[in-house]
Structure 1
Amino acid sequence: MTDAASLLSVSGLRKSYGDRVVLDDVSLSVEPHEVVCLIGSSGSGKSTLLRCLNLLEEIDDGVISFDGREISDPRVDARAVRSRIGMVFQAYNLFPHLTVLDNCTLAPRRVHGVRKADAEARALELLSRFGLEEHATKHPDRLSGGQQQRAALVRAMCTSPTLLLLDEITAALDPELVGEVLSIVRAEAAAGTTMVIATHEMAFARDVATQVCFLHEGRILEQGPPAQIFSSPREERTRQFLARVLPPA
């Protein structure tokens, strides 16, 4: 289902790599302040969908609209679109040669034309909120995995994005670090940040999502509110997936 009034609307999206179809007729709408969690097995298309939404991958067919404008048109300035969409990757993707503070202020200064002093003040405010202010002058390799992922979240938020895309941001973390990162995302969800999140953390999805989409073999096989998806899934494939990943009742 798509809605022209939605913040993000995807209709009939198709993406292939050669003969391999990765996304097939995907349609989705995201309202302002909504948190949509994408769940499904590895290889189901979750990460590719996020990359398509951020115009990091060209689509083969379909339409992606953002804030009332079609952005899947090849003539669209992808950099301008990405300046309003924050994305956090599984592997952090922080620039290793820059300090944490410089990582966080680069886009505001270079892309949005924010003065250095203002960009640094905003970054330090967020770093402080995320417990990272004392690490501002360090390079990423001096931080733990959890700290690097929190720094990546701060970097994405420093531009005050209209939409935040999170791609399996806890997958590369040790189990004891997962909670600290998810607590930050929970706080942002509670603050009304619009997010689309690919995740393997089912309890997290159940807690924070307003809508859950189960992807299977490149299709959104089932979508709905968390209570429906986790308690009364309609599709047999959804039930099989949840039976594998949820702890016994």
Structure 2
Amino acid sequence: MRKPVAGEPGWRRPDLGPPATDLLEIEHLRKCYGEQVILSDLSLTVPQHRCVVLIGASGSGKSTLLRCLNLLETVDDGVIRLDGVDITDPRVRADRIRTQVGIVFQSFNLFPHMNVLDNVTLASRVVHQIPRPQAEASAMEMLERVGLADKARARPDNLSGGQQQRAAIARALVNRPVLMLFDEVTSALDPELVGEVLGLLTELKAEGMTMLVATHEMGFARQVADQVVFLADGGVAEAGPPEQVLADPVDPRTQRFLRRIIDAGRL
């Protein structure tokens, strides 16, 4: 019997392994700021141990979606389920969810008056009441993981942009979340520092971390993503394997967006 080829029913990328359970389920999500609708009837699933990359023009809702998933924003309608649990239920404790859903922003958001170790342990010590020795042991393990153990006592201002971003990633990872959200984490970096941060994300993906990544780095999306999702007009305009969405998009909005990316020399 002939095997299906890319794009046909039944085709799967050969490197994905067995089908994964959906860790994150988003159904009919809606978010508005006053009269401005940012997300409108957005539905998306993220399988466990997969990397889903969000692309789209500025203002398409990528950052808003990630903030909703981390409960930094209250959704107006729809449901978000994490490992089967409705985290949009108003009875859910947001601080507990944030230990399971880490988020890293484009700005590093490190406290300049604290050293790196204190920045990484702050939430553990203050919010979760973990004793300092235990919190610092976990933090040092994570700083070692991101290559910053020797910078634990340094202030953020004494680090490069790439090192500051890796410290922010260590801070998000220290609670050992099941899902990591990355919001344009390279956009504030000098070009020569982008590679070290994207390299760390690539390593996390290889280790099985479930990730949802908003980025303009099309090379990263092409090489690392299991699925690329293009957002437009408040919803998912197109989604699929990177070789399909980036090389042979179907939706005219995706085609126009990628044409602009190509013209700018970024694809």
- TM-score, reference length from structure 2: 0.87
For the 8 Å contact 2:217–2:266, the answer to whether it is kept is: no
Q: Partner letter of residue 236 of structure 1?
A: P
Partner of 1:186: 202
Q: 2:99 aligns with which of 78, 83, 86?
A: 83
Change (3 A) 1:201 1:234: same
Task: Please name the residue that 1:125 is paired with.
Answer: 141
2:102 aligned counterpart, secondary structure:
strand
Does residue 242 (structure 1) correspond to residue 233 (structure 2)? The answer is no
Question: Which residue identity lines up with residue 49 of structure 2 in the other structure?
Answer: H
Q: Within 2, Cα distance between the matches of 1:161 and 1:110?
A: 18
Identity %: 56
Q: What secondary structure does 1:58 align onto?
A: coil
Question: 2:145 & 2:47 partners in 1: Cα distance?
Answer: 26
Which amino acid letter does the alignment assign opposite residue 75 of structure 2? I
- Map of 1:37 onto structure 2: 53
Question: 1:236 offset after TM fit, Å?
Answer: 1.1
Deviations 1:107-148 (CA, angstroms, capped at 9, x unpaired): 333444544333322322222232212211012122111111
Q: Secondary structure at the match of 2:246?
A: helix
Partner SS for 1:185: helix
- Give the secondary structure class of the aligned counterpart of 1:172: coil
Structure 1 gap ranges (5+): none
Secondary structure of 1:97's partner?
A: coil
Matches of 1:139 and 1:66, distance apart in 2: 35
Which of residues 23, 26, 38 is equivalent to 1:10?
A: 26
Q: Do the aligned residues in 2 keep the contact of 1:83 with 1:111 (CA within 8 Å)?
A: no
Greater mean alpha carbon deviation, residues 176-185 or residues 100-109: 100-109
Consecutive unaligned residues of structure 2, counting only runs of 5 or more, are 1-20
Match of 1:69 in 2: 85
Range moving further from structure 2, 239-248 or 172-181: 239-248
Which one-letter code corresponds to 1:206 in the other structure? R
Alignment match of 1:166 (pick from 168, 178, 182): 182
- TM-score normalised by the chain length of structure 1: 0.93
2:56 and 2:230 in contact (8 A); partners too: yes
- Rounded to whole Å, the distance in 1 between the matches of 2:89 and 2:147 is 40
**Aligned Cα root-mean-square deviation (Å):** 1.6
Rg larger for = 2
Whichever residue aligns with residue 156 of structure 2, its letter is: P
CA contact (8 A) 1:107 1:159 kept: no
Residue 14 of structure 1 aligns to a residue whose secondary structure is: strand
2:155 is aligned with 1:139: yes
Deviations 1:65-90 (A, max 9, x none): 11111111222211111121111011
